[in-house]
Chains A and B, each alone.
Chain A
Amino acid sequence: AQRVTQPEKLLSVFKGAPVELKCNYSYSGSPELFWYVQYSRQRLQLLLRHISRESIKGFTADLNKGETSFHLKKPFAQEEDSAMYYCALMPGGSEKLVFGKGTKLTVNP
């Protein structure tokens, strides 16, 4: 079974503090992993994907196959980072995205 777990429903940090949003996955093969973000009153949009090893808006995520994790990190949070963050995996040979429940990040001034 494919499953994505985001253990924190809510996460609150102060501006300038480091932030880490946790994501663990369960999948027997080699998944592709993604982080999607939904800002207030906006649509779901791709933040980053592990296959391209990019850093977007200061966020990075490293795939740890041993721990089956894909945590999202940013060294210095900004108020505009406040949003709902969803971790997702795409099983090999599939086009579907399997989402976690999401973490609501609030960055306080």
Chain B
Amino acid sequence: EPEVTQTPSHQVTQMGQEVILRCVPISNHLYFYWYRQILGQKVEFLVSFYNNEISEKSEIFDDQFSVERPDGSNFTLKIRSTKLEDSAMYFCASSRQGASYNEQFFGPGTRLTVL
């Protein structure tokens, strides 16, 4: 069964450094998402992406964040200058379509630790 994959599983970085988190969505899916979960808190929506552009983003997704689909398979989240509070588990998800009856399939997550 196809699955969403994410790399790396754990990323450690220094404050102020740029990080890129990578995701490979399920191949016939058209909608892509990033969520994050700070330890002990809720899973929070960051951004959704469709047809090579952002379709929705949250207040968390400020100018420090960007997303890209550089080729036909990868979907990346870039944080330009990491802060301590960016430490979290980052989940990528994809769905075949964007409506509520289409299931969002989640990846295993990337744990980002900012020192």
9 other contacts beyond A44-B106, A51-B101, A96-B45, with CB at 8 A cut-off? A46-B103, A86-B43, A95-B55, A96-B33, A96-B48, A97-B43, A99-B43, A100-B42, A101-B41
Question: Which of B27-47 touch A at CB < 8 Å?
Answer: 31, 33, 35, 41-45
Q: Judging by beta carbons under 8 Å apart, are A51 and B45 in contact?
A: no
Query: Could you list 11 examples of A-B contacts with CB < 8 Å?
Result: A43-B107, A44-B43, A44-B91, A44-B106, A46-B103, A51-B100, A97-B45, A97-B104, A99-B44, A101-B41, A101-B42
Question: Which of A48-65 touch B at CB < 8 Å?
Answer: 49, 51-52
Q: How far is the CA of A94 from the CA of B100 in the complex (A)?
A: 8
Q: Is A8 an interface residue (CB 8 A)?
A: no
Q: Is A108 an interface residue (CB 8 A)?
A: no
